Structure 1
Amino acid sequence: MFNIEDLSRIKGFRFPKSVIGYAVWAYHRFALSLRDVEDLLAELGVTVSYETIRDWVNRFGHGFAAKIRRDRPAPADKWHLDEVVIRIKGKTHWLWRAVDAKGDVLDILVQSRRNKAAARRFLLKLLKRWSAPRVMVTDKLRSYGAAKVEIAPGLEHRQHKGLNNRSEASHRHTRRREKIMGRFKSPMQAQRFLSAHDQIACLFRLKRHRLSAESYRHARNDAFDLWAGYAAELAA
């Protein structure tokens, strides 16, 4: 995925853009720690510390995620919203996540509450970025309905625990990363990491069970080409 002889460097950085892009990709694509990525790079002949990789992930992850959002097709008109509890320094927080009918993550928001105000804040963020869907599916938390009446009264709203499995299943990847990272250190860190991680992982987490082997390889190659282009656009 990268060429160590590549000269397309960012001002102030010792390694080329392709190496930085590879490190950010490996960290978000697989359930790896920073030290795991350090070892992968070492095997490929790149000697860099895990702290440098941490800086790359924090500095450039959001840029990659923004480019993925920029180029992604319009989401399906059916959204699934759900919230899951996360513990940060012993305190309860809620991770709100929305996915469309295709399973692509639309957005996330880490909040300390699970009430009408929190639901309203999350819905406003979604509608500002993607505009209104045809239908919204949630569990039976009343906060969703109360917020929807205020900001999108004409939106069809279905509340049923069994209908929202798609959104609930998307939390599994968060739990896996949370365990590897030894829990999140702050709400800001969780928001920053997950908002980038969900977009990057979705680009490469293809619906393999729905594709033939040939179609899957083509889609994967397209994702690699997109990523290479995004890495070439990196700037300090």
Structure 2
Amino acid sequence: MKINGKRHYLWRAVDHEGEVLESFVTKTHDKKAALKFLKNAMHKHGRSVVFVTDLLRCYGAALKEIGAVYRQETGRWLNTGAENAHLPFRRRERARLRVRRMRSLQKFAAVHASVYNHFNQERHLYSRENFKLKRRCSGLVASALFRVSSR
């Protein structure tokens, strides 16, 4: 993402169900930033059995320093969950709804992740009737939340 014309990097930890666990914004995309992100994510969510990453070398270097390089999996289409989690940010960037400060991007990423995790219905897993019921319930929750917050 670009903030005031300078490149910043969004790191995201996504579990096997597609739920966003952690999001982190850094100015660099190197071993130090990867190590900080991994340590932070592991501290909050525990050690993972498998780390699925793309082929960027900083991931391997950071996992090697932690001692979990044997848990890293890289391969075609394995990283799809994390890539799909980036789509709202890419859409926002393309629409020129730029972020002015790194702190506001971090806040947006955290809020977006929690809202997405709550309202994502995973409709491919349910029958149509159950999906409609769950969607209606989450809509009622959202309307109640927005009514309370607007007062």
The alignment's TM-score, normalised by the length of structure 2, stands at 0.84
Mapped pair 1:186 → 2:96: no
- Partner of 1:111 in structure 2? 26
- Partner of 2:4 in structure 1? 89
Q: Which runs of 5+ in 1 are unaligned?
A: 1-85
1:163 to 1:154, Cα distance in 2 relative to 1, 3 A: closer
Q: 1:167 aligns with which of 76, 82, 94?
A: 82
- How far apart in 2 are the matches of 1:160 and 1:233? 46
- How far apart in 2 are the matches of 1:182 and 1:228? 25
- How far apart in 1 are the matches of 2:48 and 2:145? 29
SS of corresponding position for 2:10: strand
- How far apart in 2 are the matches of 1:225 and 1:135? 37
- How far apart in 1 are the matches of 2:147 and 2:44? 26
Q: Which runs of 5+ in 2 are unaligned?
A: none
- How far apart in 2 are the matches of 1:182 and 1:229? 28
Q: Name the amino acid aligned to 1:165.
A: T
* Residue-by-residue CA offset, 1:59-97 (whole Å, 9 max, x unaligned): xxxxxxxxxxxxxxxxxxxxxxxxxxx111110111111
SS of corresponding position for 1:162: coil
SS of corresponding position for 1:197: helix
- Partner of 1:49 in structure 2? none
- Across the aligned residues of Structure 1 and Structure 2, the Cα RMSD in angstroms comes to 2.5
1:91 to 1:158, Cα distance in 2 relative to 1, 3 A: same
- How far apart in 2 are the matches of 1:127 and 1:113? 20
Q: 1:150 aligns with which of 65, 75, 83?
A: 65
- How far apart in 2 are the matches of 1:129 and 1:223? 27
1:150 to 1:231, Cα distance in 2 relative to 1, 3 A: farther
Deviates more, 1:174-183 or 1:207-216: 174-183
Q: Is the 8 A contact 2:14 2:22 kept in 1?
A: yes
Structure 1 residue 208, shift from structure 2 partner? 1.2
Q: Is the 8 A contact 2:25 2:102 kept in 1?
A: yes
- Partner of 1:43 in structure 2? none
Q: Name the amino acid aligned to 1:94.
A: Y
Matches within 5 A, 1:29-178: 86-153=1-68, 156-178=71-93
Structure 1 residue 231, shift from structure 2 partner? 7.5
Q: Name the amino acid aligned to 1:110.
A: V
SS of corresponding position for 2:14: strand
Q: Name the amino acid aligned to 2:30.
A: N
Runs of 4+ in 1 over 4 A off after TM superposition: 224-234
Which entry has the higher C-alpha Rg, 1 or 2? 1
Mapped pair 1:208 → 2:120: no
Structure 1 residue 174, shift from structure 2 partner? 1.4
Q: Is the 8 A contact 2:60 2:69 kept in 1?
A: no
